[in-house]
């Protein structure tokens, strides 16, 4: 068939519209290769179809470009693994999604563990802080007390009273400090000999022949101990009494005394 006759068959038009079967396609390609006019006809028809198609142009959503570029990027990474046809476009993002989810779960677990550990540490630190704070308060109170005692002892109105052993018990000695201005009294009972259990030392003030209780002495307290201040005391006396102290002194058990 000559080329002019071939151009009249309508096979070219069917070819550009994709309507020819394999055999017909081969024939068209053969003519196109042989006759440049045939190829030119094909090009022109294709150009017309391109123009026709372009009239349906619609602006794609802006995010499509980044999706496309991402897809290309992914295809590049996978190209070695599967050189065949690309899978569904979504598979890339699904795969990414799965990885992302796994990373997210991993990160969550990691952070949760971190948080639990941090909470434990915080609780422990809080406890230690409370202990330190209490200790600090205690130290502060003790210091205040010491300062107060020191202030009293160095006060010009403070009078020391040395209590001597009566002979009933060896080395039964103590020193008391009386301040009539501030009405406070201290005694250092740490020097007194140790008593058997069930017994205690008690301090008395002699006011015009009457013994007035100044308090039970704590033997384990090695420093100064505050006791009641009694006005107009002529002398201070220490007796041994049953544990808890007595309302009246056991005069037979007077172990030390001293004039004020």
* Pattern 18-57, other proteins, x by CB under 8 A: xx-----------------------xxxxxxxxxxxxxxx
- Which residues ranging from 53 to 82 are in contact with other proteins (CB under 8 A)? 53-61, 64-65, 67-69, 71-76, 79
Q: Which of 6, 16, 174, 227 binds other proteins (CB under 8 A)?
A: 16
Interface with other proteins, residue 251, by CB under 8 A: no
Q: Which two tokens stand for residue 251?
A: 């005069």
Nearer to other proteins, 2 or 77 (CB): 77
Nearer to other proteins, 14 or 166 (CB): 14
d(CA 260, CA 40): 139
Cα angle: 77, vertex 106, 89; to 5 degrees: 30
Q: Which two tokens stand for residue 11?
A: 């096979």
Q: Which of 26, 36, 37, 89 binds other proteins (CB under 8 A)?
A: 89
Minimum distance between the CB of residue 129 and other proteins, rounded to whole angstroms? Answer: 58
Return the sign of the alpha-carbon dihedral for residues 224, 225, 227, 233.
negative
Minimum distance between the CB of residue 98 and other proteins, rounded to whole angstroms? Answer: 19
d(CA 158, CA 187): 12
Minimum distance between the CB of residue 61 and other proteins, rounded to whole angstroms? Answer: 7
Which residues have C-beta within 8 Å of that of residue 187, sequence separation ≥ 6? 174, 175, 176, 177, 203, 217, 224, 225, 227, 236
Minimum distance between the CB of residue 30 and other proteins, rounded to whole angstroms? Answer: 15
Residues β-bridged to residue 217: 201
Q: Which two tokens stand for residue 168?
A: 């009933």
Question: What is the contact surface with other proteins in residues (CB under 8 A)?
Answer: 10, 13-14, 16-19, 43-61, 64-65, 67-69, 71-76, 79, 86, 88-90
């Amino acid at each position: 068939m000559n080329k002019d006759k071939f151009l009249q068959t309508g096979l070219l038009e069917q070819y550009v519209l994709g309507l020819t079967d394999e055999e017909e396609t081969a024939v068209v390609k053969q003519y196109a290769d042989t006759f440049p006019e045939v190829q030119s006809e094909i090009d022109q028809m294709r150009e017309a179809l391109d123009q026709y198609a372009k009239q349906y142009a619609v602006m794609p959503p802006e995010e499509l470009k980044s999706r496309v570029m991402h897809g290309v990027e992914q295809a590049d990474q996978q190209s070695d693994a599967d050189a065949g046809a690309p899978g569904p476009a979504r598979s890339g993002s699904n795969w990414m999604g799965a990885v992302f989810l796994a990373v997210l779960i991993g990160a969550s677990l990691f952070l949760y563990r971190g948080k639990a550990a941090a909470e434990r540490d915080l609780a422990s630190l809080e406890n230690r802080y409370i202990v330190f704070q209490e200790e600090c308060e205690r130290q502060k109170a003790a210091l205040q007390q010491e300062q107060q005692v020191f202030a009293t002892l160095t006060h010009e109105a403070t009078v020391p009273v040395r209590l001597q052993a009566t002979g009933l018990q060896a080395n039964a000695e103590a020193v008391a400090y009386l301040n009539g201005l501030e009405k406070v009294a201290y005694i250092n009972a740490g020097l007194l000999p140790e008593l058997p259990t069930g017994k205690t030392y008690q301090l008395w003030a002699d006011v015009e022949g009457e013994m007035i209780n100044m308090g039970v002495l704590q033997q384990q307290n090695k420093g100064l101990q505050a006791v009641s201040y009694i006005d107009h005391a002529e002398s201070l006396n220490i007796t041994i009494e049953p544990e808890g102290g007595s309302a009246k002194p056991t005069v037979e058990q007077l172990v030390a005394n001293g004039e004020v």
